[in-house]
Chain A
Amino acid sequence: MTRQGWWKFQARAAPYLFVSPFLIIFTVFLLYPLSRSFYLSFHRTVGPGHQMFIGLGNYRFLLRHDLLFGLAVLNTAIYTVAFLLLQIPISLGLALLLSGRGVRLKSVFRFSFFSSYLVGQVFVGVIFFQFFSPGGLVNQTISALLGRRIVIGWLSNPAMVLPSVLIAGLWLATGYGMVYFQAALQAVDPELYEAAHVDGAGRCRRFLHVTLPGIRHVLVYMILIGAIGGFQLFELPFVLLQGAGPGGRGITIVMYLFIMGFNAGDLGYASAIGWLLVAMLLIIFAARLRFFRTHQEMTA
């Protein structure tokens, strides 16, 4: 091959070579498993030698007959809504506080709030398992404050299960949201605040009419990410409750998927649960797109 030919070959092959690592990894570890699980979701699978095509049978059974799946969807939906209703205001509030002019040691606070996100769900599950135990830090603190022994069954009382998971989840993710909101707040043009101030707008009005529209994109992004994270919740309750929790109150969609795949040994059924979860997430995503479109039309 001539030197010119070699250069031509390089120029032609280089793009493919550069994207090939991603493509190979994507195909082997994502595309193939995804398509395989889609295929499996239409089958009843038992062991290596038995795979029976049952069409939409798994989906039909899940939606019509499976009470535990219904419970898992309900638990997950309640968690997600409660999580978003609390995480967004708390994160935004912290971001606003840290964006104030008089606040010192901003970086230290920012790192402190964000650091909980770095440790991951399993670690948080282990820590909060200790905190929430009957003789744990939380009950001890409440007892000390009230001056008598209080034992709240954070992990054993079915009514307390979702609040416990929620508290642990918020501790984990609030700092993450705060960092995004802080970045968004910095991008809001200060002149807009000055103009609003000159026009006589108070703090509330400035927040509603300048800050919120300014951080709208990040706000919607945080809601979307929070909703997806909520629907994919698994490790945190699984570690914290050591399973499905009392009365199945801690069972989530992904936990149920895990149970059906690895405790019941039905990979086809577990795959169907996974694809129903994908459908739910697509609905959330479509709702977000619709909201954005409507909002843009209104502003236009």
Chain B
Amino acid sequence: MRFTLGRPVFALLLVALASGSAVLVRPAEPRANLVVWTFSQAQADFFRNSSLPRQFENRTGFSVGISLMGQSGENIRLASAFMSDGRGAAAPDLCEIEIDAIGQFLRPPIRDIGLLPLNDFLARSGWESRIVASRLAPWSKTDPATGRQIICGIPEDVHPVAIAYRKDLFEQAGIDLAQAKSWNEFQSLCQRFESFWASRGFHDRRAIALSTSNPDELLEMLLQRHINLIDSDEQLHFTDAKVLGTLTFYARMIAGSGAVAGEPSPGVQWTEDLEHGNICAICAPDWKVDDLRRFSPDLAGKIALMPMPRFEPDDSATSTLGGTMIGICRSCPDPERAWELLEYLVLSPQSHESAIAAGDDVLPAVSQYWSDPAYHRPDAFFAGGQSADDLFVTLAAQIPQRVVTPFTYQAELALGVVLHRSVTFLRQQGPEGLDDACAGWLADAQNDIGRRIEFGKIEP
């Protein structure tokens, strides 16, 4: 028999048929009874290496599947699953979401949010009173009808922020940085520090890392002053006097005659800045301290931690940066069982013990575990064996409430633009007129975000 299109095409057709049949015939991997999506390699490793999922399976007979995927990929897949209302792509039963990404998922009216409200589960199980209350806020949305906070996720961490600094270098300059209780005192000590090292030829040695490329540290300072750019009632706070004061102080730390800050290196390369003594202090949440330990082991014995200085007495001595939650998807067919798994994986004493055994130093959101001796023992990595976790436990109790709304990401982008303009103004024109200029830019940013919120409203 002849094939008119020739042998190569015939061969290609055969290959296509064979591979197509193989794909069709190949049995699909059976879906576990409960599927958890996570974006964190460390968390996936923890779940897989600990015996928690296996213990849960043995106890309940429900199989557990842990799926690791990139953070961006997970967010897009979740958004797609939630948008299709269960008719399209399959959603997992439980999912972990990072704090910067949660805003978009809280945008729909409460009945349409793809995550199941967990208030009843929390109240029934008694976990509500044991989880740090301020950490429930980022994963919550106010119900306009009742004014009640609807909780859509369980926080896995608190991430208090401290100042990590090169104690050895500050001591050589005759400065005890921990004595600084206010940011003004902190700046003065940093100026003395830089003068000392400049006179010994270290002209590029900067006292602290403050970024102009992103507003993370500025946001940390605002949070310690209990300011969220957008609060839970979607009120904007760009034009608050405290925002202006913090912004101009921050800009003066970076540029002008009182500058003491340098730009940290991107990614985790900031640890090298500290290691080489190019930058000698950094605002560090507990997870950044872990990075320091992991990527710069040579710093052992040279680093110390101190609480954040305050602007005013009623400011908090700490802030918070980053965070992850775990929630139950609305499409989950068995929410009761999913809650049981959630409790077992992230809230239970077994989960806490496994985390400690695995050497996880990140402070959990359940405050009763903070008394664990593991969080209070001396730590050889820090100067004088300072217990970093002990300090973080003390700070965690004062952690300010962080609110995330669907417009928070854009508000932070807008603040980043204002920050850049402020620093540029200070560098090019000096401090005269800075306050007025910043006030104008902040007002513009507030108007911009206000218009977006008004424009994006779906409900009357």
The interface of chain A, by Cβ under 8 A from chain B, is 44, 46-50, 52, 57, 61, 65-68, 71, 129, 133-135, 149, 151, 153, 155-158, 242-249, 259, 262-267
**B168 on interface, CB distance cutoff 8 Å:** no
Which residues of chain A come closer than 8 Å to B213, judged between CB atoms? 153, 155-158, 245-247
What B residues does A242 contact at CB under 8 A? 266-267
Asked if A49 and B112 sit within 8 Å, CB to CB, the answer is: yes
Interface residue total, chain B, C-beta cutoff 8 A: 53
B419 at interface, CB cutoff 8 A: yes
Interface string of B40-82 (1 = CB under 8 A from A): 0000000000000000000000000000000010011001001
Q: Is the CB of B112 within 8 A of A48?
A: yes
B contact residues around A249 at 8 Å (CB): 420
Chain B residues within 8 Å of A, Cβ to Cβ = 72, 75-76, 79, 82-85, 100-101, 103-105, 107-109, 111-114, 204, 211-214, 263, 265-267, 269, 272-273, 276, 278, 406-407, 409-410, 413-414, 416-417, 419-421, 424, 444, 448, 451-452, 455-456, 458
- Can you list 27 residue pairs at the A/B interface with Cβ under 8 Å? A44-B458, A46-B109, A47-B83, A47-B112, A49-B111, A68-B413, A68-B448, A133-B266, A134-B265, A135-B269, A135-B272, A135-B276, A151-B204, A156-B212, A156-B263, A158-B212, A242-B267, A247-B416, A247-B421, A247-B424, A248-B417, A262-B72, A263-B101, A263-B104, A264-B103, A264-B406, A265-B79
Shortest Cβ distance from B114 into A: residue: A47
Secondary structure call for the A interface: loop
A151 partner residues in chain B, CB cutoff 8 A = 204, 278
A262 is contacted by which of B104, B263, B421 (Cβ under 8 Å)? B104
Question: Of A46, A67, A266, which one neighbours B448 at CB under 8 angstroms?
Answer: A67
With A48-B82, A157-B213 known, 12 other A-B pairs at CB within 8 A are A48-B84, A61-B455, A68-B410, A129-B266, A158-B212, A158-B420, A246-B211, A247-B420, A259-B409, A259-B413, A263-B100, A263-B409
Q: Is the CB of A65 within 8 A of B448?
A: yes
- Once bound together, how far apart are the Cα atoms of A247 and B427, in whole Å? 15
Which residues of the other chain, B, contact A157 by a CB distance below 8 angstroms? 212-213, 263
Q: By the criterion CB–CB under 8 Å, are B104 and A265 in contact?
A: yes
Q: Are B451 and A65 in contact (CB under 8 A)?
A: yes
CA distance A157 to B254 in the complex (A): 12
Residues of A within 8 A of B278 (CB): 134, 151
Q: Which residues of A contact B108 (CB under 8 A)?
A: 46-50
Cα(A135)–Cα(B420), bound, Å: 23
- C-alpha gap A157/B213 in the complex (Å): 7
A262-B85 in contact (CB<8A): no
A120–B145 Cα gap in the complex (Å)? 50
Q: In whole angstroms, how far apart are the Cα atoms of A265 and B202 in the complex?
A: 48
Question: What residues on A are CB-neighbors of B276 within 8 Å?
Answer: 135
Q: Is there an interface contact between A129 and B458, defined as CB atoms closer than 8 Å? A: no
A224 to B75, CA, bound (A): 34
Minimum CB distance partner of A267 in chain B? B83
Tell me the minimal C-beta distance from B226 to chain A in angstroms. Answer: 25
Measured between beta carbons, the chain B residues less than 8 angstroms from A265 are 79, 103-105, 107, 406
- Is the CB–CB distance between B265 and A135 below 8 Å? yes
